[in-house]
Structure 1
């Protein structure tokens, strides 16, 4: 079936909002997540687009995105050869051109009703708007183990040493002024789970305030995070972020460039 006239008009215009989805072996969760997101974006009163970043998937993730029907919300596939969610998000954000950009997880664990609030706040002048499960008005359904919860408490304490005043750096629902985040993410050096901390710190370093908003969040089965497998690595990432940002601050220089995190050729 050919695209509707509305789809033709929307897709021919530059999107005001682009959303990045990092994806590693997401053939089971991605189709449902894309359906939800595209349905939500199609109801927005301005052009929107989605970028899915395939992060070395060995399943049919890339094929699903390549075959996705192009309607009112274009869905584009790019590839990121550097392993890690941080590397994939970085590649996706650098591929954006819209005035407003953001990223969310393939499982859509964060309810998309929060998207209206996030976009409205960005249009009103905010530069960084993030979902926060720690917000007093958030509705959170959590099935995590006690050990993982204790690990999260420790992580948040360490993250607050790097990004002060932010209660939840890790909710996978973050939206930004496009020009600001493209500048911030260019220097991102953390490829793994702790990348959000460095990204937010770099946004703050560019003069932006981080606004946390309430979300409805559901723990969706299929998360690949394991405290036993990733805990030490995350501690090392946080330490590296703290040392690197302090060194850059003292030097008063632009962040060093890491070509390993430039897998698709963006400057």
Structure 2
């Protein structure tokens, strides 16, 4: 069935909201995730679009995006040659042009009803809105091992030293004023797991602390995070962020990626 006139107008107008989805070998989870996300965005009262960032996938991730039907919600592909989730999110944010932007994980572990809350707060004047599994009104289904839960507690304790007032820096559901997100993304230098900490810390340094909102979150299979393999690298990554923010380069100096090995790209 050909698209209706209303659908044509919706896809031809510039989006008010763009959502970045980083993807590394997500051929199994991406189709279902995109179906959910596009269905949600199609119900919004304004145009929205999706940017999938293919992070050097070796499966059919890129083909899935290229062949995705462009009906009510445009979906476009961005290639990111630098490995790591932080690198992928940065690349996606820097290609946005919309007044409001955000990113979420390909598995859609966070219930997308939270999009309405995040967008409402941004329209109301907030600049940074993040989902928090630690919020007292969040509903979290967690099947992680005890070891991983203890690791998360330790990570949050370290992250709070860098991002005051944020109880959960790692929930993959964050929304921003578009101009702020692009300004901060241009200075991001953390390509791996802890990039969220640097992102939120930089927003706070500019005077825009994050507002946390409750979420419904379901633990999804397919996580690549291993406490045994990745804990040391993540602690080192947090240390580099702390040092970098203390020794901020002169204004106007172009940032460069860390040359240290990426401890983990995707949780």
Range into which the TM-score falls when normalised by the shorter chain: over 0.9
Does residue 257 of the first structure (1) align with residue 255 of the second (2)? yes
Cα deviation code 1:220-253 (max 9, x no counterpart): 00011111121111111100000000111xx663
SS at match of 1:78: strand
Are the equivalent residues in 2 in contact too, given 1:19–1:104 (CA < 8 A)?
Answer: yes
What is the rounded CA distance, in whole Å, between the counterparts of 1:64 and 1:102 in structure 2? Answer: 21
Give CA deviations for 1:138-182 in whole Å, capped at 9, x if unaligned: 000000011101110110000000001100000000000000010
Distance of aligned partners of 1:2 and 1:123 in 2 relative to their CA distance in 1, 3 Å threshold: same
> Does the CA contact (< 8 Å) of 2:18 and 2:100 recur in 1?
yes
- Partners of 1:84 and 1:255 in 2: CA distance: 23
Other-structure match for 2:123: 123
Q: Aligned-pair distance for 1:3?
A: 2.2
User: Does the Cα contact within 8 Å between 1:185 and 1:199 map onto a contact in 2?
Assistant: yes
- In structure 2, the CA distance between the partners of 1:104 and 1:181, relative to structure 1 (3 Å rule), is same
Cα distance in structure 1, aligned partners of 2:108 and 2:36: 8
Change (3 A) 1:205 1:69: same
Match of 2:263 in 1: none
Matches within 5 A, 1:96-111: 96-111=96-111
Q: Which sits farther off after the overlay, 3-12 or 133-142?
A: 3-12
Aligned twin of 1:13: 13
Give the conservation status (yes or no) of the 8 Å contact 1:4–1:71: no
User: Structure 2, unaligned stretches of length 5 or more?
Assistant: 260-267
- Counterparts of 1:153-232 in structure 2, within 5 Å, are 153-232=153-232
* Distance in 2 of aligned mates of 1:211 and 1:226: 29
* Alpha carbons 1:187, 1:257 under 8 Å: kept: yes
Q: Is the CA contact (8 Å cut-off) linking 1:141 and 1:217 kept in structure 2?
A: yes
Give the TM-score taking structure 2 as reference length.
0.94
In the TM superposition, residue 205 of structure 1 has moved relative to its aligned partner by: 1.2
Provide the C-alpha distance between the structure 2 equivalents of 1:144 and 1:83, rounded to a whole number of angstroms. Answer: 25
Q: Which consecutive unaligned segments of at least 5 residues does structure 1 have? A: 262-267
How many pairs were matched up? Answer: 259
CA distance in 2, matches of 1:163, 1:253: 22
RMSD: 1.3
**Deviation for aligned residue 1:4:** 2.2
Distance in 2 between the 1:103 and 1:247 partners? 28
2-structure distance, mates of 1:192, 1:20: 16
The answer to whether the 8 A contact 2:191-2:257 is kept is no
Whether the 8 Å CA contact 2:190–2:257 is kept in 1: the answer is: no
The range that moved more, 208-217 or 251-260, is 251-260
Q: Secondary structure at the match of 2:247?
A: helix
Structure 1 consecutive aligned stretches of length 4 or more whose deviation exceeds 4 Å: none
Matched with 2:95 is 95
Instruction: For 1:229 and 1:95, locate their aligned partners in 2 and report how far apart those are by CA, in whole Å.
Output: 32
How far 1:256 moved relative to its partner?
4.3
Other-structure match for 2:27: 27
Cα shift at 1:7: 1.6
What does 1:63-78 align with in structure 2 at a 5 Å threshold? 63-78=63-78
Change (3 A) 1:167 1:260: closer
